[in-house]
Structure 1
């Protein structure tokens, strides 16, 4: 990173002590969790499954959980990286008012962040859509492996959000357990799928944070999904200063005071050391 850019960021941070951070996939790519988009903001791969398709088609659910069983090998073992640790440190220093993460990996909390909103939920939790009970994804993994021992021998490259690039299989043969609590319920990861709505209480907490923050820092996100972009729009309408650390374009480029195109983890570590 250019020294001038770092000094500019440090001066900006000093002028805006109550910071709202909106984090994205760029915070987690360094620890082996792939992202969806390239530096131009375009999809790298087919778009993820929608809520409507998941809930309406048993074969879609079988394909999802087969890929998830293999993808959990990476997601379930992932550890916080530089970006997660730096943001946790900035919170401890009193610089960070709230962190809104669009990621579902739970790594910010694992790094020590406490004032965090998981905008799209957590992949580490499973929800029964019938009885409403939640349970650990790690427990479900053991059930999936027991039901599908032959599938466990397959290899698939990791994909975003705990998915895996597995195709060419007869997914109708994959066994998916029902809810362990009610015995019959349809289970889904406790995340907001494409086509699903972010819970209102989360949106309200984030909007309140926008109103009380001095400025907004975008960390490792293109903001191409409206669910996160809306908070930047709200900050702009309120006259807040907005800065981004992100390689490539963001949906909010026209609203930024400036952008630093550098490694998000290294840059945040340099700011945390300031």
Structure 2
């Protein structure tokens, strides 16, 4: 991945229409400090990594399913062929204004912690620390048979050697999907050599992420719950909350009387939990929030 965050002053978007009453509530809550942020795919769309759902809440792409990946060598071959073709674009993504703003709020002491559903590592590259990756990271790969960990960069090197000329002769959709892969011709997939573990020789190498239908490790869930329970405010950024994996933390906060604020485009799941919901782009709200609370 390319190095270094984008300075906030170089990413400030033009002011746009924002619900000013809702924004005032958000500014007060964040200004009081003790905030925990729960971030979703909407954080990274401005970096060129699309989300699973559009503003209407409907799923736009079919993600890899955990059971299919674990149980089918053909599914693993398809995933790794697509991921190999998409890695250059995915790894080139840079933090956007929203990532930088979140890091600034954390550095200033207003934001206590970050729980992210994203697997792209862009929070850390923007300067954020102690980020809890709820769904893991595409930077890491694990053998499901022997547990051997390996970096995604090394797997990319192996695949390049095992599939010479594959990228040059394979047509892709061009758009990187949320799992870090791209759509490619099925005929090319059938010729692709998927990675094998260098320790046990098994073919069940899996990116260290929670695919749809998989389970977040219990220890990670408990850590996230503890962060939320200690928060003065839970701010949800860029998530429709359609998946219980993230929504459960909103429910816990609401049950404990912790204010919940949501900033995301389109509808969001909730049964009255959010105190305020800003239907706005994060790039329009978060840099402005930093400027108002911390100065330029």
TM-score (norm 2): 0.88
Asked if 1:162 is matched to 2:191, the reply is no
RMSD: 1.5
The SS at the match of 2:124 is: helix
Q: How does 1:1-274 map to 2 (within 5 A)?
A: 1-2=17-18, 4=20, 5-14=22-31, 16-45=32-61, 47-153=62-168, 154-156=170-172, 157=174, 158-184=176-202, 186-252=204-270, 254-273=272-291, 274=293
- Is the contact made by 1:128 and 1:186 (CA closer than 8 Å) also made in structure 2? yes
- C-alpha distance in 2, partners of 1:92/1:262? 24
Task: Give 5+ residue unaligned stretches, structure 2.
Answer: 1-16
Query: Counterpart in 1 of 2:13?
Result: none
- C-alpha distance in 2, partners of 1:135/1:268? 35
Shift of 1:180: 2.4
- Is the contact made by 1:24 and 1:102 (CA closer than 8 Å) also made in structure 2? yes
- Is the contact made by 1:49 and 1:194 (CA closer than 8 Å) also made in structure 2? yes
- C-alpha distance in 2, partners of 1:229/1:82? 25
- Is the contact made by 2:171 and 2:185 (CA closer than 8 Å) also made in structure 1? no
Aligned in 2, Cα 1:161/1:185: closer, same or farther, shift over 3 Å?
closer
- C-alpha distance in 1, partners of 2:18/2:122? 28
Shift of 1:30: 0.4
TM-score (norm 1): 0.94
Task: Give 5+ residue unaligned stretches, structure 1.
Answer: none
